[in-house]
Amino acid sequence: MTNTVDEIAGAGAILVTGINPTESQPVIGYRIRQAVRNGAKLIVADPRRIQLAEIADVHLQFKPGTDIALFNALAHVIIKEGLQDQEYIETRTQDFQHLKKMVEKYTPDYVAKITGVAAEKIITAARLFAQADSGSIFYAMGVTQHTCGTENVVALTNLSLLTGNLGKPHAGMYPLRGQNNVQGACDMGCLPNVLTGYQPVHSDRDTGTYWQRLKGAVSRQPSAVSREEAGADSSVIESIEFDEPISLNMSVSDTIRAKFSRAWGVELSDVPGRTIAEMFHYFPHRRSRIMYIMGENPVLTSPQAELVREALEDMDFVVVQDIFLNETAQYADVVLPAASFAEKDGTFINTERRVQLIRRAIKPRGDSKADWEIIQELANRFGLNWNYSSAEEIWDEVRELTPHYFGGMSYERLDAGGLQWPCTAIDHPGTPILHKSKFARGIGQFSTVEYRPLAADATDEDYPFILTTGRKLYHYHTRTMTGKSDGLNSLIKEERMEINPQDAEGLGLDAEDTVKVTSRRGSIKSKINLTDRVPPGLVCMSFHFAESPVNVLMNPAVCNMSVASGLKSCGVRIEKA
Amino acid sequence: MDKVVLKLDDLEVMANKEDTILQAALDHGIYIPHLCYHPDLKPFGGCRLCVVEIEGRGLTISCKAPVEEGIAVRTEGPEIDKMRRVAAELLIVNHYSECLQCARNTDCKLQDIAAYIGIEEGRLQRLKRTARDLPLDDSNPFFIRDPNKCVLCGICVRTCEEINGVGAIDFAFRGLDTRISTLKDKPIVESRCESCGECVVRCPVGALVPQNMRKPEREVKSICPYCGTGCGIYLGIRGDKIVSARGDRDSVVNKGQLCVKGRFSYDFVNHPDRLTTPLIKRNGVFVEATWDEALDLVTAKFKEAQEKYGPEALAGLSSARVTNEENYLFQKLLRSLGTNSIDCCARL
């Protein structure tokens, strides 16, 4: 997120797309409602009539997969009516003319045909967003979990740049995080291509890294920069600082690997790692042979889950470390019992980049141990000789190796209240708003992304419905936690697929019927919920219930840029079970 | 912020220009009885208990009267006491009060008021509601609504509307029959209530209380373990069990607000299904093992696979649920063992 939760209530206009915050991030949902009461204009762009659509000024109920056409049409209207922030565009961005040329053909009438949204609504939405003093854009998996997920985000970013909404209060981009520490997992380098703070690990000797290409890469020595000079830049992400300045013809990742190798006392590999989809690859010889799974449940969360089950069975050895014997743990050879969040110290990073302390409230259950203690014991069996006695010691090592993000975040400071990265020095106040005076990459880049119909999992005669997925207020992910609450289970006890009454009538379904939902990959059963929250032709399920594991049906095709799976739409057939 | 100076019972106090007389008094530790006022909500002026006298102008309700430079306010006086007593006594007689059996005992605004005005023994006995004749609504698994204890302050109604924008409840019926109701007077669980519990937190009496409430012996500050919002919480602990949670009002993220999961859903921590010992699968069945047995086996298998296939054969899925420190060590371990195959569910 570029901005903070606290700013939401003061936004001038809010665009909510591909997210249902009143159910998935309720407190942020409350804030959006508060903003509307304070006078914010609300635009909801979603194929479903989510709760926020009821209080929206305009609801753009587009066909799933046509996001880019819709966002480009909004850009078209903004430019055609001269509502863009010209000064911002001239001083802080580049390649506006390319965008302008590209969106020319995305007239409201043309896009109305693609998206099914009336042209007038598109025009109204564009005006509301562009004419507000500040505009923020909320999105999440409904935008990213497509084979064109990255392009969807680019199209949204264009809107934010066009209206000068990046780098100022009550504005910006709000990609809401779904899990308490998904931000932290990424920031800590639990990705195959980067170490902590997104420091690249791949060999880049031929191509140069992202940073090198964009920033010219000559890093300054920290001591050579005066505080005043650094202070001017304190609101933007700094490039990584090195002990020795490195020149353009040196490899950034070589330097980084050398830094980590020295700190860790090991030689680090520059071979790119596998992504989650590749670990469970369709071809057995391309899969991993040994899996160490900590606090995840891929059997229910991955697309075409049958493939994950098959891969786990096929592997030589599977270790699962968790607080419960979840569906994935059934495939383990060894299960290691972990402590819950209430039984250990540490930090989480929330959706607004805020690092916050959690504190041990009770002792671990039985013989279970904090995950870090288990990992350390394992490391020492490999002769790595680790010797951490507290979470704080580990965090201090993270700070030392990741000064450009966490340098200034001591436990002592965090104890007094969270801090938002980047926070580079002990006297740095943290960064509530990113890209304030300039962008991380220097200048804001308009990129052109064209709409193309999704070929991967379209509807046809055999699979006439589009299935999408969503979340429910009363449960959380695969229910390993919420499923243990009698209260929550009494509020929602089973999956009920949302289906429009008109479709149900066509299929001869009654409210209490069970249906069989079949995609090109498999079929599952579910009860139904007759509701006009979904338009005819669209059905929606959650992935909360193991009895109706919707991701079995989903297409494992991935976005070719982020390698994220297209979990948000697939063609299905529905029959009475 | 602009300041004004006014007199409260002959004490000179400084207040923010936007404050009401009641806020200014409470800020300076001067108690004026009140029931329908809540600092998070807009003034309502329903209970009439906070009546005061502005010298030279007469009586007014202090929760709605803005402070002004130089005014002199009296919080007591014969006329004030008379008005206040009538209003308070009507509330008290209508309130089903078995205080010792009430979850809000010692934390009840009506008790504060009764103590302040003083109730003579016998005076209210004849009028007092002695039976719990209105039905309880315990349809929600997390809290109970007891109309027999409701004082119609409207704090729950306004919280639902002003704080969360849900609007599940409102005043219904008239006169003596007035009560707080859902649309069509259905059980709360069938309304649009989102079970966030914000109304329960703010109810000044025992009309809205958590189900099976147990007061914690101590509280520990933490962060909610569910979504990515990162709401600040205080976990209430008794022995080694979590018995309650409340929002941290000092948290800049949630300012005390929580959703149903963050407030009511910690059963999983103390659940009997928690894993308490390492398990090793032998002949397709999980068997309990010691840490040494389990970790030795993992180490041996990892080494075996590394020799057989090379370090790339090993892969790890890290967790969006564990701490930064643990995620950091997880990738450090795998990378130290020679593989970069680490991913997490952020890609899903």
pLDDT of amino acid A528: 96
d(CA A314, CA A280) in angstroms, rounded, equals 10
Q: Which residues of A touch B166 (CB under 8 A)?
A: 33
d(CA A352, CA B165) in angstroms, rounded, equals 23
Q: Which residues of A touch B318 (CB under 8 A)?
A: 185, 188, 190, 294-296
Range in A155-159, B113-117, B343-347 the model is least confident about: B343-347
Q: Each residue of A40-91: pLDDT tens digit? A: 999 999 999 999 999 999 999 999 889 999 999 999 999 999 999 999 999 9
User: What's the token pair of residue B40?
Assistant: 């998070």
Q: Answer for the pair A44, A50: CB distance below 8 angstroms, yes or no.
A: yes
**Is 80 exceeded by the pLDDT of residue B132?**
no
Q: Answer for the pair A167, A435: CB distance below 8 angstroms, yes or no.
A: yes
Q: Is B92 helix (H, G, I), strand (E, B) or coil?
A: helix
Question: Tell me, what's the ipTM?
Answer: 0.92
CB spacing of B230 vs A180 below 8 angstroms: yes
Q: Each residue of B36-86: pLDDT tens digit? A: 999 999 999 999 999 999 999 999 999 999 999 999 999 999 999 999 998
A 2-21 near B (Cβ less than 8 A)? 4-6
**Residue from A276, A178, A484 nearest B275 by CA:** A484
Q: Which residue out of B326, B331, B333, B334 would a mutagenesis test of the A interface target, given it has the greatest number of A Cβ atoms within 10 Å?
A: B326
Q: Each residue of A472-507: pLDDT tens digit? A: 999 988 888 999 999 999 999 999 999 999 999 999
pTM for the full model? 0.91
CA dihedral A515, A520, A522, A527 (to 10 degrees): -20
Q: Answer for the pair B39, B163: CB distance below 8 angstroms, yes or no.
A: no
Q: Which residues of A touch B336 (CB under 8 A)?
A: 264, 266, 268, 379, 382, 384
CB spacing of A491 vs B305 below 8 angstroms: no
CB spacing of A185 vs B319 below 8 angstroms: yes
Query: In sequence order, what are the residues at sequence separation of 6 or more whose Cβ sits closer than 8 angstroms to the Cβ of residue A72?
Result: A102, A103, A106, A111, A155, A158, A449, A450, A451
Q: Which of A269, A317, A417 sits opposite B305 (nearest CB)?
A: A317
Assess A298–B contact: CB distance below 8 Å, yes or no: yes
Instruction: List the Cα angle B41/B43/B47 in 5-degree steps.
Output: 115
pLDDT of amino acid A557: 77
List, as own/partner pairs, every contact residues A409-416 make where C-beta atoms lie below 8 angstroms and the sequence separation is at least 24, other chains included. A409/A355, A411/A357, A414/A347, A414/A355, A414/A356, A414/A357, A415/A357
Q: What is the CATH number of domain B3-126?
A: 3.10.20.740
**Is 80 exceeded by the pLDDT of residue A225?**
no
Q: Which residue out of A341, A410, A562 would a mutagenesis test of the B interface target, given it has the greatest number of B Cβ atoms within 10 Å?
A: A341
CB spacing of B229 vs A350 below 8 angstroms: yes
**Is 90 exceeded by the pLDDT of residue A215?**
no
**Residue from A364, A365, A389, A367 nearest A376 by CA:** A389
Q: How confident is the model at residue B92 (pLDDT cuts 50, 70, 90)?
A: confident
pLDDT of amino acid A456: 64
Q: Which residues of B touch A397 (CB under 8 A)?
A: 328
Assess A284–B contact: CB distance below 8 Å, yes or no: no
Candidates 2.60.40.420, 2.60.40.10, 3.90.700.10, 2.20.25.90; CATH matching B217-273: 2.20.25.90
Domains of chain A in sequence order: 5-178 (3.40.228.10), 465-576 (2.40.40.20)
pLDDT of amino acid A422: 93
Domain boundaries, chain B: 3-126, 217-273, 279-347
Q: Answer for the pair A466, A64: CB distance below 8 angstroms, yes or no.
A: yes
Closest chain B residue to the Cα of A556, Cα to Cα: B348
Q: Answer for the pair A189, A195: CB distance below 8 angstroms, yes or no.
A: yes
Q: Each residue of B325-336: pLDDT tens digit? A: 999 999 999 999
pLDDT of amino acid A546: 87
Given CA atoms B173, B179, B183, B185 in this order, what sign does their dihedral have?
Answer: negative
Residue with token string 């220009």:
B17
H or E stretch including B324? helix B324-336
Q: Which residues of B touch A374 (CB under 8 A)?
A: 295
d(CA A264, CA A282) in angstroms, rounded, equals 34
Q: What rounded mean pLDDT belongs to chain B?
A: 93
CB spacing of B295 vs A381 below 8 angstroms: yes
Q: Which residues of B touch A357 (CB under 8 A)?
A: 221, 223
**Is 60 exceeded by the pLDDT of residue A558?**
yes
User: What's the token pair of residue A472?
Assistant: 């429910």
CB spacing of B275 vs A337 below 8 angstroms: yes
Q: What rounded mean pLDDT belongs to chain A?
A: 88
**Is 80 exceeded by the pLDDT of residue A257?**
yes
pLDDT of amino acid B155: 97
Read off the pLDDT of each residue in A16-31 and give the average, rounded to a whole number: 95
**Is 60 exceeded by the pLDDT of residue A217?**
no
- Highest mean pLDDT: which range of A119-133, B77-91, B168-182: A119-133
Q: Which amino acid is at A556?
A: P
d(CA B180, CA B170) in angstroms, rounded, equals 6
CB spacing of A341 vs B279 below 8 angstroms: no
CB spacing of B331 vs A181 below 8 angstroms: no
Closest chain A residue to the Cα of B222, Cα to Cα: A358
- What count of other Cβ atoms lies within 10 Å of the Cβ of residue A232? 11
Please give the C-alpha separations between residue A441 and each of A237, A243, A434, in angstroms, as whole numbers. 9, 22, 12
Assess A78–B contact: CB distance below 8 Å, yes or no: no
